[in-house]
Chain A
Amino acid sequence: MSYIPHTEVERQQMLAAIGVTTIEDLFEAVPASHRFPKLDLPPAMSEMEIAAEMQALAEANEHGGDFAMFRGAGAYHHFIPSVVNHILLRGEFYTAYTPYQPEVSQGTLQSVYEYQSMMCALTGMDAANASHYDGATSLAEAVTMALQVTRGKRDKIILSHAIHPQYREVVRTYHQGRDIRIVGDEGTANANALIDMIDDSTAMVAVGYPNFFGQIEDFSALADAVHAKGAVLVMVVNPMMLALYKSPGELGADIVVGEGQALGIPLSYGGPYLGFFATRTQYVRKIAGRIIGETVDMDGKRAYVMTLRPREQDIRREKASSNICTNQGLMALAASVYLALMGRNGLRKVAELNYHKAHYAADQIDRIDGYKVQRNLPFFNEFIVKCLKPVEEINTALLDEGIIGGYDLGQDYPHLKDHMLLAVTEVNTRSEIDTLVEVLKRLS
């Protein structure tokens, strides 16, 4: 019976102790008319059979193990050191639950505290929470916080069009029940053009760093304009880039959110990922979700505990600002282990490899007649290529050569028809890049 340990003898002993004759007797409160329905599911399988069936399903995918991957657009194929997976597979971590009982959860609590510390270091913020579901929901929660910080008196949320299209969709899903205006992404306004939209009703302005197109915009004028109006500046960031580039804190961000998948978490067809959320000290008490703080036990031993609990749904109920409880704890652990292994020098080296390889690829592509890399703004590891042919056609040809090509930007941005978003990371070898360039050349 798979994972159920009971023998018939034990079942009988237990039923006798309860004082019933069959297990079915315990379901007497279920309306008899609806009790014990038929379940139309396939019969049980042995472990061997399950593995064989699922292996076949897995192999039906075209994935980063078999193909050279140049697709990013919010999810990146990076190298993950072996240690990360070994730690994640420790049953002490992955079969524990939320650390409600801190005395027997110090492992989880301290590792999340270290995660918070390292995310603060990356973002240049003062505090980070224990995680959200992903980058998109972190941004949605930032909207809630910005509305609270501006005391519910402001109703305008400005989103750059150059934030991930799916993130902007999620913001709209989250806030459809609220009386607020979400604007800014109707056209193609860049960071400086967003300034004109800021007024006294503006609660927050959100921009991407890098933006969805991989570009690094200049936010100096925007940050001043946002703060002059008493609004909140939110940056949606790629944490890998922060190993190299100025921190959002230095650039004037008040809230930093983003997708932590690049930090040791596999692509896994879109999840589970890691939404991170960091902010400045003055807003700490408005953060949604769990936060770990340091304290001591009765003997003065250093220890960690979930703190600022009265903000949360299980205590505050209908007055809580978010219903989040389970978050992405194990993914935060993955990021902790990854960041600890990489450390200051390793992460910088990985980021530099991304930078050099992406720029090498861009330079090679620029030499092909008919292809043009957009270079009006600096980029990190992802860039726009204007193509000679429809992206779909190019990607079909690339697939034949064992390459998963870039993301078709025309899907989300009509003015970018025939534009491809290419991501190049440390895992892409020179020969993969050269093959990519060869195929593009053939299609020119």
Chain B
Amino acid sequence: MVMIAENEPVVLEPLIYDLSVPGRVGVNLPDSDVPETALPSELLRDDLRLPEVSELQVVRHFLNLSQLNHAIDKGFYPLGSCTMKYNPKINEDMARLPGFALQHPLADEGGSQGALALMHQLQEWLAEISGFEAVSLAPAAGAQGEFAGILMIRNYHLDRGDTARKIILVPNSAHGTNPATVTMAGFDAVELPSDDKGDVDLDALKQVCAEKGDQIAGMMITVPSTLGLFEEHILEVVEIVQGVGGLMYMDGANMNALMGQVKPGELGFDVMHYNLHKTFSTPHGGGGPGSGPVGVGDKLKPYLPGPIVHIVEEATDEEPPLYGLMMPEKSIGRLKAFHGNFGMHVRAYAYIRAYGADGLRDVSRHAVLNANYVRAQLIDTYRIPYPRYCGHEFVLEGRVEGVDDIHALDISKRLMDYGIHPPTNYFPLIVREALLIEPTETETKETLDGFIDAMKKIAEEARTQPELLHEAPHSAPVKRLDEVRAAKELVLCCKPALSDAGD
């Protein structure tokens, strides 16, 4: 029988600490096979508050928790700007091969040739896909790739004695990481408006470049934009900014629309980051780990974050090349210990291998096809700004004509009742009640049709039974949360008492 004390909240799954019974251990450990050395009692603690549970309790606990998640493996996950595509299972197996999983990061280079060969190959492939000169796999996530890119731009200008360039231009449709990155690197972000087609406002760009050209270090821009639109004047934007001595940074978060369609390096970009956990199918892991390699053209090549993999001795008829790690000549430095999130490099390598050149081109073709299909099917039901084909995602306004108090949030929460993860909501900030929808190429037409039906039904429900939306979700593990209470009371960890010690 489950006892529920008065005023105690109902729980979905107890905390691991609440399962604890003094004396239990969840793992079978060996005894010491060496003579024991006296422990330094004056340095030791006796207050280690960790739970005491059995192995089966741990398994059930985490399995029960897992059931409370929505995930790609369970259902459709059209979360815009995140590219929630299928994460192939073989990638996981490859990353767990003992030769990769048990390789020490400070192992001698001579004994790390397999890992180094893989990283070198991935550097080359990523450079080819985006048309860049060189790639560093060091950044641990997209945001770190952005940071690396902006630091490279900074040091490029400083090296030339060009010390007045303090401004990085950022369109108002940008991911929040862009302006945050600019500040972190010691620059000032200057926001650019968008025009009524969703592109950068060219007049505003020309004006700021005319007025402050010698202070502009560069511009960060996402292609396709966070509205899912391919900037129509991209060549002109690049030319204007570079014309006043600025460098161009491309946020590669939306690269899933571009593979084999256009190479950012050929458009004139100086640097971009890739999100291996978006475009190249490495899993999102409930919030990481990601991997955010950076690619650069000639100008920034000496500044790449390190280490990068290079060929120490070229291959001969009998021997493969000898690979080694190096810091580029004027490197901005190390971004993390060791050499990037190698496990993600392994997965991305397996992914690129599975598709090859034509397959990757098909990935982007179908990502764009799926997005445009959903867009076309919803255009009569919801207001979709910017009447043009989209890239791999599109934004619609999450409201229903004639119903005042239905918001993007209500539609999002109601989608959960249809077994679908909500799209990104309230981003980009420049679209009212934005819902950013990215189906990805790995979804079938039936899944897309199911989503389209759900969105149409929800629009109908908004008119006939709006309370269904206001109170949604109804079938998720929990209803809407009291987020104000969470921020006000700030319960950030449970503070278990020690069960058998005097505390």
Contact = CB atoms under 8 A, between A and B. Distances in A.
Contacts of A41: 125, 128-129, 352, 356-357, 360
A87 B63 CA distance: 7
B185 interface: yes
Q: Which residue among A74, A117, A167, A272 has the maximum number of chain B CB atoms within 10 Å of its CB? A: A272
Interface in B351-368: 352-363, 365-366, 368
B106 A75 contact: yes
9 contacts: A3-B85, A10-B445, A61-B114, A64-B98, A127-B493, A173-B334, A272-B289, A325-B176, A356-B36
Contacts of B70: 96, 101, 104-105
A89 to B, nearest CB: 6
Contacts of A221: none
B162 interface: no
A376 B232 CA distance: 67
Interface string B26-70: 110110111111011001110111111101001101110111111
B436 to A, nearest CB: 12
Given A58-B98, A92-B67, A298 B88 contact: no
B210 to A, nearest CB: 23
Given A31-B234, A110-B68, 4 more contacts: A18-B389, A39-B260, A110-B15, A314-B175
Interface stretch (A154-162, A193-201, A335-343): A335-343
Interface stretch (B240-248, B311-319, B370-378, B457-465): B370-378
A270 B95 CA distance: 13
Interface in A1-39: 1-6, 10-11, 13-15, 17-20, 23-31, 33-37, 39
A266 B96 CA distance: 9
A53 B480 contact: no
Contacts of A302: 9-12
A85 B32 CA distance: 25
Interface string A319-340: 1101111111111010011011
Interface residues of B, number: 209
Contact of A267 (B12, B102, B363): B102
A314 B176 contact: yes
B196 interface: no
A246 B181 CA distance: 37
B338 A19 contact: no
Contacts of B291: 272
Contacts of B144: 133, 137
A337 B69 contact: no
Contacts of B160: none
B277 A345 contact: no
B490 A269 contact: no
Contacts of B59: 83, 86-87
Given A244-B44, A360-B37, A4 B142 contact: no
A269 B108 CA distance: 11
A325 B286 contact: no
B290 interface: yes
Contacts of B332: 173, 176
Closest 10 CB pairs of A and B: A177-B186, A270-B338, A58-B99, A91-B73, A270-B105, A330-B285, A329-B287, A60-B114, A62-B111, A173-B333
B261 A35 contact: yes
Interface stretch (A145-153, A184-192, A222-230, A305-313): A305-313
A95 B277 CA distance: 10
Contacts of B361: 36, 39
Contacts of B58: 83, 337, 340-341
Given A39-B357, A291-B492, A96 B350 contact: no
Nearest to B342: A269
Contact of A36 (B51, B261, B335, B337): B261
B389 A57 contact: no
A69 B177 contact: no
B334 A101 contact: no
Given A62-B111, A92-B66, A339-B50, A37 B131 contact: yes
Interface stretch (B74-82, B200-208, B294-302, B397-405): B74-82
Given A267-B105, A298-B479, A44 B340 contact: no
Contacts of B290: 326
B341 to A, nearest CB: 4
Interface stretch (A346-354, A365-373, A382-390): A346-354
A320 B377 contact: no
Nearest to A406: B106
Nearest to A54: B94
A343 B94 contact: no
Contact of A295 (B140, B486, B496): B486
Contact of B106 (A71, A124, A307, A339): A71
Interface string A242-282: 11111100100000000100000011111111000000000
A176 B290 CA distance: 24
Given A96-B284, A270-B337, A331 B289 contact: yes
A35 B284 CA distance: 30
B183 to A, nearest CB: 5
Given A268-B343, A326-B290, A93 B66 contact: yes
Interface residues of A, number: 206
Nearest to B376: A18
Contacts of B336: 133-134, 136-137, 170, 271
Q: Which residue among A74, A134, A173 has the maximum number of chain B CB atoms within 10 Å of its CB? A: A173
B356 A284 contact: no
B141 A133 contact: yes
A213 interface: no
A35 B258 CA distance: 10
Nearest to B144: A133
A13 B376 CA distance: 12
Contact of B96 (A57, A85, A98, A131): A85
B494 A117 contact: yes
Given A5-B442, A51-B90, A54-B349, A305 B34 contact: no
Contacts of B107: 61-63, 71, 269, 404
Nearest to B12: A106
A97 B284 contact: yes
B369 A23 contact: yes
A344 interface: yes
A340 B61 contact: yes
Given A35-B262, A60-B114, A177-B184, A135 B337 contact: yes
A214 to B, nearest CB: 14
A166 interface: yes
Q: Which residue among A1, A6, A73 has the maximum number of chain B CB atoms within 10 Å of its CB? A: A6
Contacts of A294: 486, 489, 491-492, 494
Contact of A298 (B262, B350, B480): B480
Q: Which residue among A24, A270, A342, A347 has the maximum number of chain B CB atoms within 10 Å of its CB? A: A270
Contact of B342 (A242, A271, A303, A399): A271
B478 interface: yes
B453 interface: no
A92 B140 contact: no
Interface in A40-60: 40-45, 47, 50-51, 53-60
A360 B26 CA distance: 27
Contacts of A53: 353
Interface in B457-487: 471, 473, 476-483, 485-487
Nearest to A30: B262
Interface string B406-427: 0000001100100001101001
Interface string A202-221: 00000000000000100000
Nearest to A29: B230
B344 interface: yes
A240 interface: no
A36 B23 CA distance: 65
A53 B90 CA distance: 13
A37 to B, nearest CB: 5
B267 interface: yes
Given A26-B372, A170-B336, A356-B37, A292 B492 contact: yes
